[in-house]
Structure 1
């Protein structure tokens, strides 16, 4: 058998013991076709990105048209119509007065830029505040600054916790005691804290942990009370995944900086953004050139990616995506709730087009193989088996996925 791993270093994988990966050759809708001819119904939309399903003809057409005119041009000293159009549309879609769009090329970089914005926001005002507050089970990316604001013990980055800048870990204010604790923390540390980071409603890679809109609202109110910036990491939950276009909408919260990515291009190309409110942006306006935001990824605002993102926004405007998410939520509840009675199952959680079954123990590689043998692409991690399907998934496909989870976990 050909060794597919001879020259490849896979993510989140111990290469010494890694099983041979499956080789994909094509995608369509919610189906991945493998090199051996097998078809897998995809339950996770390629790390939550392909919200319209794979190869949507409208996105493909937009990419082809842009490819023929300008695949890429630098965004330093030059701008282009796809980016200008996308920035305005994102400003129009974002909650409140979030309106200043800084494009980057990945979600982790969006978080890095947001933290950099927050620190420099205070520096430009003559104040030194460099620490960040994030929450237990939080996950914000794999780059160095992002690892520092992930849960130091419960995330996959525990190995690095002694080598990263020391940030502040808090408990989400889910009840009276934890709310008072968070309030006291910011009262005590506010002169050192540049910003609080939160994944609104669902903490994704930290285990699909879910909290309600009241908790999110409390975080925003306490940040405002103590004059600390709030960064909302909607890289996973944005673009309809939790049932509203942005998760913050469900709490009526307008963060100071909103980070988006993943579903931004409908899973076609990598693109992300940090979107700031005017008061954040205005702190960088000065006759002093050192007050500018000194950041600029080489491929920021890539025209191809911007064309895909504009096409994706078209689909949110012309096709019933949020209604589809509401229907998916009902099917996930119906299909996964029976798992609650199975041995080894600790919890079942559903929010929008996100469903998770939490287990006592998970042998992720073995479970992936069992799902693939049955014709499904499901990728458990940590202690959960989860589904984050395309919003366009067919009802029969989603029912088959939840049935497969019930069957595999029962066995």
Structure 2
């Protein structure tokens, strides 16, 4: 075991190949201990939107480290958290203005679920404990979030007998499916707290895209049946789909939105569940039990908030969405030749997301090795090879990534 005592994620430790040993990062590159340099095609699980080691973020973190690395948020507040909350509320559409910080995306989704269930309890409506989630969806690996993922996708199927039971349905892609979901909600609405969906892209469930109209359908259905709508923008937020937030493309405002991943520019762990005014007001009461009784130890960590504020500075100062548009065009052009390769069933692009869909990946380890041999870091999973690069990637680096995928798949047989 070359990793020693380290237990790796999503890895069968008995049969896995030895992990590569990263030594440094810079821009869109990862340097390995053995001297090789890889172009990162997935921005460290979609987080490093500005590339690695951006000097503006690094300086902000250094400054905050010297001043105050951490202080509890219980009974205390600090300027980085106050400023970040204000800025997120100003960026998000509508009256999404009550910002609750946590450390990870999974926890942010758990907080959103807790908010939704307690919203109804505080209003005197008991029994609204279930969520409506969607096939192909993924929202995290903690127990509450596993319960709203698609169990058929494999990662969480072992725990079906342990997890809370929610309603798992199909996305309403057309009028007939919307009518079917409408009928389901009419029958079950008194037990439902909220509808939960990843807007525009179901990420870890297979990079499945849907149109903005889908979100408008869900907003209409939520309003018709008096339900909360939660959008999980942990992957899609901060420019990944081509707009700052995916919900903007549908012109809707969710009742709660979750954020993480690129929030700090891939520098520190931080997440947020942000609620609309009417959700927050349901927790205001003379009754102390109506408070949201949740408080992650490192919530609103000042270092992470400083990194996030610096990341938002970069979105303001530099044309990140313009860069995403350029990446989108290049991905569409450069991945299209993969469509005629054996085993390829689809090629699709949205924003800075490019996906080559296969009928299957026969030997995942061999495919990963071929990609690394060409100097790129790409992590295929299930039946897709995908790219989610940093927005600051150069055209040459992007071409290297797309060429490596084409060549690796071309030799897959």
- TM-score normalised per structure 1: 0.99
Residues 1:146 and 2:182 aligned together: no
Residues 1:398 and 2:404 aligned together: no
Which residue number corresponds to residue 237 of structure 1?
A: 236
For the 8 Å contact 1:139–1:155, the answer to whether it is kept is no
Secondary structure of 1:99's aligned partner: strand
For the 8 Å contact 1:137–1:155, the answer to whether it is kept is no
Distance in 1 (CA, whole Å) between partners of 2:319 and 2:93 is: 20
Residue-pair matches, total: 409
Secondary structure of 1:190's aligned partner: helix
Which residue number corresponds to residue 323 of structure 1?
A: 322
Distance in 2 (CA, whole Å) between partners of 1:6 and 1:271 is: 28
Distance in 2 (CA, whole Å) between partners of 1:105 and 1:275 is: 14
Which residue number corresponds to residue 82 of structure 2?
A: 84
Distance in 1 (CA, whole Å) between partners of 2:91 and 2:342 is: 44
Which residue number corresponds to residue 346 of structure 1?
A: 345
Which residue number corresponds to residue 356 of structure 1?
A: 355
Deviation by residue 1:275-326 (Cα, 9 ceiling, x = unmatched)? 0001000000000000000000000000000000000000000001000000
How far off is 1:364 after superposition? 2.7
How far off is 1:6 after superposition? 2.1
Secondary structure of 2:74's aligned partner: coil
Distance in 1 (CA, whole Å) between partners of 2:272 and 2:154 is: 24
Secondary structure of 2:131's aligned partner: strand
Which residue number corresponds to residue 377 of structure 2?
A: 377
Farther-moved stretch of structure 1 (367-376 vs 392-401): 367-376
Which residue number corresponds to residue 118 of structure 2?
A: 120
- TM-score normalised per structure 2: 0.98
Which residue number corresponds to residue 94 of structure 1?
A: 92
Residues 1:269 and 2:268 aligned together: yes
Secondary structure of 2:248's aligned partner: helix
Deviation by residue 1:325-349 (Cα, 9 ceiling, x = unmatched)? 0000001101111111111011111
Farther-moved stretch of structure 1 (84-93 vs 329-338): 329-338
Distance in 2 (CA, whole Å) between partners of 1:388 and 1:83 is: 28
How far off is 1:117 after superposition? 0.3
Secondary structure of 1:316's aligned partner: helix
Deviation by residue 1:59-97 (Cα, 9 ceiling, x = unmatched)? 000010000000000010000000000000000001111
Which residue number corresponds to residue 203 of structure 2?
A: 204
How does 1:31-180 map onto structure 2 within 5 Å?
Answer: 31-128=29-126, 129-180=128-179
Stretches of structure 2 lacking an aligned partner (at least 5 in a row): none
Secondary structure of 2:196's aligned partner: strand
Distance in 2 (CA, whole Å) between partners of 1:132 and 1:195 is: 5
Deviation by residue 1:85-131 (Cα, 9 ceiling, x = unmatched)? 00000000011110000000000000000000000000001102000
How far off is 1:155 after superposition? 4.3
Distance in 2 (CA, whole Å) between partners of 1:17 and 1:357 is: 26
Secondary structure of 2:380's aligned partner: coil
